[in-house]
Amino acid sequence: MSFEPDIAVVIVAAGDGTRLAAGRPKALVPLAGPTILERALHGVLSLPRPAQIVVVAPPAHVGETRESAERAVGAAIDALVVVAGGGSRTASVRAGLEALLPSVATVLVHDAARPLTPVSLIQSVVEAVEATGDAVIPGLPVVDTMKDVSGDDLVLGTVDRDRLRSVQTPQGFPRGLLERAYADDVAERTDDAATVAAVGGAVRIVSGDERAFKITTPWDLRRAELLLGAAGTRTGVGVDVHAVGNGGTLRLAGLEWPGEPALSGHSDGDAVAHAVVDALLGAAGLGDIGAMFGTDDPALAGADGGVFVRGAVDALGRAGFAPVNVSVQLIGNRPRFASRRTEAERAMSAMVGAPVSITATTTDGLGFTGRGEGVMAIASALVRSQRGGVLE
């Protein structure tokens, strides 16, 4: 099958990093092990939809940049294109746009120097572009008092900071709008949104994230290292509820339960497996089962819970995490769980690749579980960073 993504992420990594003073291009500087570029790619690779990745490299370091990028993308290498940048940011972005696949409709332009940008922020930009058809940029409210100052340092007044935002990347655009903005020689501007605005494009703001700060100085690099060190282990919680259906065979905790009616749902309704998925994804900051797999994808109709669990574990691996253990509390009157607890724990542990313990309880006849109308599962997951952590 040909690779025809509708999203592309152009990662600008062509800067020399003079202020970082690391003796090499900034994107190739190690950050708690992997390079800054690799860290930036981890977030992009955690998107729930496939995306073309175009890395714009320093012209004298294309080979080294390619090696670094390939280490990050691994099995997704078919999605990767590495091109040489130009003498300015504008020229580098234009070089990235020239490498886009015909299928791409939405383009994100992202700074490699923002390696801790969470996937949730990247996804919010994609969704806003697709929903509005406008350019979309993430921004944070300005918290310091802002002054308007003359050329000789005389304070002229206080600026209303409520109308100001500190802008981050990725910045997202409909492809046609961005290509039109860069079609001709344009003035060098500090971000792509300004270039788009110059040709009349509308630009919208979505909420930014403190973790998407830019590494510019050694102080910034150390801050990123400390944040990654703090992310050694993380926890997540998942909750899932399914009603009892009218037929079929129950699938729960990775097992079939002959004689018990199936739980309703687009897939197999395995509340235990689905809660485990949300707990794992939540621990790594990768969203939830609905965002990653969709709630009505025809390809997943009737799919067993293991499909989602294994998919979540794969997503964790791409983001630099591995499961440590999962604990699940199953709440419901049926099925009688105790006799198959060990079997269920083995099945779920095999899916997760780490120990899964399951306890079960009833609600003494109270609520929908007590009336036998459905079951609930609550899962807690602990995950470990494999690459120093990715703050998602």
Q: Which amino acid is at 377?
A: A
Q: Is 371 annotated as a binding residue?
A: yes
String of b and e for 262-289 (b: at least 16 CB within 10 Å)? bbebebbbbbbbbbbbbbbbbbbbbbbb
Alpha-carbon gap, residue 254 to 257, rounded angstroms: 10
How far apart (Å, rounded) are the C-alpha atoms in residues 182 and 331? 57
**180 has binding-site annotation:** no
3-state SS class at 4: coil
36, 28 Cβ separation under 8 angstroms: yes
Nearest to 25 by CA among 14, 34, 33: 14
Residue burial 314-326, b: 16+ Cβ < 10 Å; e: rest: ebbbbbbbebbeb
- The architecture in CATH of the region 7-221 reads Alpha-Beta Complex (3.90)
1 pLDDT more than 70: no
pLDDT, tens digit, 9 for 90 and up, residues 119-137: 999 999 999 999 999 999 9
- 364 annotated as a binding-site residue: yes
* pLDDT (average), residues 95-106: 97
Please name the amino acid found at residue 209.
D
Q: What is the mean pLDDT of residues 143-164?
A: 93
Domain map (residue ranges) of the chain: 7-221, 233-385
Query: Do 347 and 255 meet the contact criterion of CB atoms below 8 Å apart?
Result: yes
Would you say 362 is a known binding-site residue?
yes
**pLDDT tens-digit series, residues 55-86:** 999 999 999 999 999 988 887 788 999 999 98
Q: Which amino acid is located at 294 in the chain?
A: G
191 is in an annotated binding site: no
Question: What number of H helices and E strands is found in the chain?
Answer: 12, 16
- Nearest residue to 234 (alpha-carbon basis) of 382, 387, 380: 382
| Distance (Å, whole) CA 383 – CA 138 | 28
What is the mean pLDDT of the segment spanning 207-226?
91
Residue 274: is its pLDDT beyond 80? yes
What angle do helix axes 36-45 and 119-132 make, rounded to 10 degrees?
50
341-388 per-position pLDDT tens digit: 899 999 999 999 999 999 988 888 888 887 878 889 999 999 987 654
132 is in an annotated binding site: no
* 16 known ligand binder: no
Of 63-77, 264-278, 295-309, which gets the smallest average pLDDT?
Answer: 295-309
Instruction: Please check if 213 is assigned to a binding site.
Output: no
* Rg for the chain, CA atoms, rounded: 24
242 is in an annotated binding site: yes
Superfamily (CATH) of domain 233-385: 2-C-methyl-D-erythritol 2,4-cyclodiphosphate synthase (3.30.1330.50)
Q: Is 288 annotated as a binding residue?
A: yes
Quote the pLDDT of residue 392: 41
**274 labelled ligand-binding:** yes
Among residues 122, 58, 57, 89, the alpha carbon closest in space to that of 191 is found at 89
Q: What average pLDDT does this structure show over 7-24?
A: 87
- Angle between helices 271-283 and 341-352 in degrees, nearest 10: 40
Reduced to 3 states (helix: H, G, I; strand: E, B; else coil), residue 157 is: strand
pLDDT given at position 97: 97
In contact, 364 and 370? CB cutoff 8 Å:
yes
Q: Which residue has the tokens 């190690």?
A: 30
- Mean pLDDT (the chain) is 88
- Binned at pLDDT 50, 70 and 90, residue 301 comes out as low
